[in-house]
Amino acid sequence: MKKLILILFASALLCEGIQAASFEPVWGRDGMLVTSVGPAAWAGQQVLENGGNAVDAAIATAFAAGVAHPFSSGLGGGMFAVVHDASDGSNTTLDARETAPAAATAEFYVKNPDSIRSGARSVAVPGLVQGAWALHQKYGSMPWKDLLEPAIKMASEGYRVEIWHHNVVKRVAERLKENPETQRTQTVDGMAPPLGWNHVQEDLAETLRWIQKKGEKALAVGPIAEKIAKATDNAVTELDLARYKVKWREPIRGSYRDYEIISMPPPSSGGVLLVQMLNILSRHDLGSMNHGSSEYVHLLASTMKMAFEDRAENFGDSDFYDVPVERLISMKYADQQAARFNPNGQVKARADHPQVPDDDGTTHISVIDKNGNAIAITQTINTLFGSKITVPGTGIVLNNEMDDFSIGPELANAWGATGSMANAVAPGKRPLSSMTPTIVLRDGSPVMVIGSPMGTLIITTVLQTLINVIDFEFDAQRAVNAARFHHQWKPDRLTIEPEFPIEVRERLQALGYELREFSIIGAAELAVFDPEACMFWGGADGRRDSKAAPVNISKVARPSETVQCIGTRRNTAEAVPD
């Protein structure tokens, strides 16, 4: 049986394969937080160091992330969360995904397809604040107001603009001219904030102070709700905001090798597709293959294609559409799918199903604390700066999540994706997502927490990163650094990162693949716990402005002293007190 202790010896485990970079993982003795928003990592790290639990830390980081990367997530968006509670070993998921307003109709968007992409009619009812509140009420250990303080500090005092922030705003600065409030709050004289700029958002700080006082009601009723309705010309009404509800859902569960997979159910497609692909791949000895070889890429790409074919046909909000979850994650179905694999050519379609929309401009947070609590949060406003609308006087950037619905088989969304009626617009419905927050258990305790931003690329990013750790025994940092590829059935092409050598590309083309190169595929944020060494490890993906924030409260034990772990909690000798 493979042991996670092997992650300690990254340099000794190097084998033939492809890597985007080579770094050492971050280590910690008392917990680990990893996020795609590096400037926000200190918020959760501080909470953990002050005695808060994993959920407290994730909430603080979620609010701070919306301040630091307002183009990716924030108060005007939504989230998914997967939680492991160490006190009773339970696992659950929280759905705080945005919903279609009551007045939204499929007919309107068919006649006005451009309006679903940006502007007032692209905005869905946000749920992030209610989601954070629900997590705190069920699992939080620190006062609510304390969890908002780091975000308020960042918004009111400012934070330093670094390369990722500068480049993202530079890409969209021209489009922000049509939205004066967004341009005012997010640019400097209409251009991207220069490197080193201290970015202050006082309106947002005031809104966060309001959330401190009002909790889940802050955006649901009162002056901010009035401002949101006015900013959207009542496309999202005050009644829509007041009626919004989060939903606790049963997670998607699967197994792979000696590990248990806990992931997000519909309206996310991520958990089902992840388990479905792992079921198929469990029939192969991946660890004996050359990582990054054409043989390896072909096997995984074929598996991806089969899963995404199902995504196009079968997925939507399970409260509105009967998603056949149990069939799709069953081993019987995996047998049928595995039989379709052809080592000498591409998998053939069962039918020509169009692909469904996805989400991007997203943020992920992974946390494990010293007591064995774990949480994975993925949050989003969809595309960069969402609808491009900032609610005047609040600093809230509103999502354009309506674009994640399907408005017709020939009408593509912002990412060139179309979809089926399973994901059609309907009042109160949640649009389909690719977000895949995931916790991996071994013997009932969390050993990995993972997720990623970047639309449909999220699902295959999580898949490959887990395989890198479980099958190839990569350490946390090497697992997220390794070059990736992606296939989502439609469009029928294989997307690869630049590190793949010419001989691999030529062999894949000979198998019939049309290749497309992307410089960045996803951004895996991986927290690992090694129970044998009683250590936490963090892998922060350098493809984004990511950071791993360790927690080190305990003193260092001498080599002669025994350090024992119960679950993830450190139960130590005198030299290593809690």
Q: Where are the beta strands (DSSP E) in 406-513?
A: 438-442, 445-450, 485-486, 494-496
Which residues share a beta bridge with 379? 79, 363
* Marked catalytic residue, from 362, 378, 380, 438: 362
**E strand or H helix at 305, and its extent?**
helix 294-314
Cα distances (Å, whole numbers) of residue 394 to 167, 202, 334: 24, 9, 49
Both tokens of 191, joined, read 């251009």
**E strand or H helix at 486, and its extent?**
strand 485-486
Is cis: bond before 491, omega within 30 of 0?
yes
Whether 266 contacts 318, CB under 8 Å:
yes
Which residues share a beta bridge with 251? none
Distance CA 183, CA 94 (A): 33
Residue 182 falls in the annotated catalytic set? no
Could you tell me which of 35, 135, 66, 78 has the C-alpha nearest to residue 432? 78
Which residues share a beta bridge with 249? 93
Q: What is the number of other CB atoms lying within 10 angstroms of the CB of residue 206?
A: 17
Could you tell me which of 323, 350, 263 has the C-alpha nearest to residue 84? 263
Distance CA 229, CA 101 (A): 11
Pairing of strands 362-369, 374-380: antiparallel
Location of structure tokens 């307003």: 101
Which residues share a beta bridge with 257? none
Could you tell me which of 449, 453, 473 has the C-alpha nearest to residue 17? 473
Return the active site residues: 362
